[in-house]
Amino acid sequence: MKRIVIFGAGGHAKAVIDAVEKQAEYEIVGLLDGGKAAGTHVYGYEVMGDDAWLLHNLDSIDGVIVAIGDNWRRSIVAEMIGKAAPGLPFVTAIHPSAQVARGARVGAGSVLMAGAVLGSDAELGEHGVLYPGSSVDHDSRAGRFVSLAPRAVTGGGVTIGDYTAVAIGASIIHGVAIGEHAVIGAGSTVIRDIPSYTVAYGSPAKPIRSREKGERYL
Ligand SMILES: CC(=O)SCCNC(=O)CCNC(=O)[C@H](O)C(C)(C)COP(=O)(O)OP(=O)(O)OC[C@H]1O[C@@H](n2cnc3c(N)ncnc32)[C@H](O)[C@@H]1OP(=O)(O)O
């Protein structure tokens, strides 16, 4: 079994651990998190250190997955790892109850949690997260570092730009395009295109305000 480390040791990491364990393709060697004391444990996995551990132990692992819920923060860590350890693969975690349809593509480093669906010929870019029960339907394109929170769903042919977060329970009708770095608020119904760098919510969802790259939304 391939040996991986999980970067992150918070609540999101616990959900990623669940998907990795049930997928049963990788052995989790341990966790890395600069914000937690080395030696503490999450579900029996030791927090071994931070990125310095990774650089000193590259020979002993086969892959890594970044388990940080915030899309922008996940991207910063993924890019740091990509530069420091260019050959180290980012692996995907796909819970056995998730569904990946014919022709669908899951980008490296992405996670599909319990009951998530990636529809026919749909695409989830690198380091995306489909939370439990979320769905990206046929022919849709979700970019890099995109997340769909629990029960967030799209119709077919939807486009979601890089770093955009679709919050819990939001619905996006078929054919809509959402830009980059946008946040679609909890419970929204999106029926028209939403520009990049915009927080939008409501039913129907309307742009409420602009947002900066990396602004917190969780
Ligand atoms: C496993 C997991 O936990 S995954 C993560 C799950 N959590 C989520 O997905 C939630 C993500 N967050 C959201 O969706 C939030 O609604 C955001 C980020 C879009 C908006 O948050 P903020 O900008 O902080 O809005 P704030 O809380 O200040 O509210 C401002 C106003 O907008 C309203 N509002 C905020 N969000 C929404 C929404 N989704 N729908 C309708 N109205 C909303 C508030 O009621 C408030 O109205 P008021 O001024 O009349 O009182």
Protein residue whose Cα sits closest to atom 2 of ligand 1: 149
Would 217 be classed as within a structural domain?
Answer: no
The residue whose two tokens read 């900066």 is 212
**Domain count for the chain:** 2
In the chain, what percentage of residues exceed pLDDT 90? 99
| Residue-level pLDDT at 170 | 99
Would 191 be classed as within a structural domain?
Answer: yes
| pLDDT digit string, tens, across residues 22-55 | 999 999 999 999 999 999 999 999 999 998 999 8
Pick the closest to residue 152 from 138, 174, 165, 170 (CA basis): 170
CA distance 144 to 123: 10
What Cα–Cα distance (Å) separates residue 167 from each residue in 7, 20, 153? 23, 23, 10
| pLDDT digit string, tens, across residues 72-99 | 999 999 999 999 999 999 999 999 999 9
| pLDDT digit string, tens, across residues 144-153 | 999 999 999 9
Instruction: Catalytic residue, from 12, 95, 127, 138: name it.
Output: 138
Contact 99, 118 (CB under 8 A): yes
Domain boundary among 84, 113, 130: 84
Consult the annotation and say whether 168 binds a ligand.
yes
Protein residue whose Cα sits closest to atom 36 of ligand 1: 185
pLDDT band at 19 (very low <50, low <70, confident <90, very high): very high
Would 111 be classed as within a structural domain?
Answer: yes
What Cα–Cα distance (Å) separates residue 211 from each residue in 69, 181, 199, 204? 18, 8, 6, 20
pLDDT band at 199 (very low <50, low <70, confident <90, very high): very high
| Residue-level pLDDT at 4 | 98
| Residue-level pLDDT at 3 | 98
* Ligand 1 neighbours by CB, cut-off 6 Å: 131, 149-150, 167-168, 183, 185-188, 199, 201-202, 217-218
Q: Please compute the mean of the pLDDT values over residues 174-202 and round it to a whole number.
A: 98
| Residue-level pLDDT at 90 | 98
| pLDDT digit string, tens, across residues 94-107 | 999 999 999 999 99
Consult the annotation and say whether 69 binds a ligand.
yes
Domain region containing 64: 2-84
| Residue-level pLDDT at 132 | 98
| CATH assignment at residue 30 | 3.40.50.20
Residues 100, 58 within the same domain: no
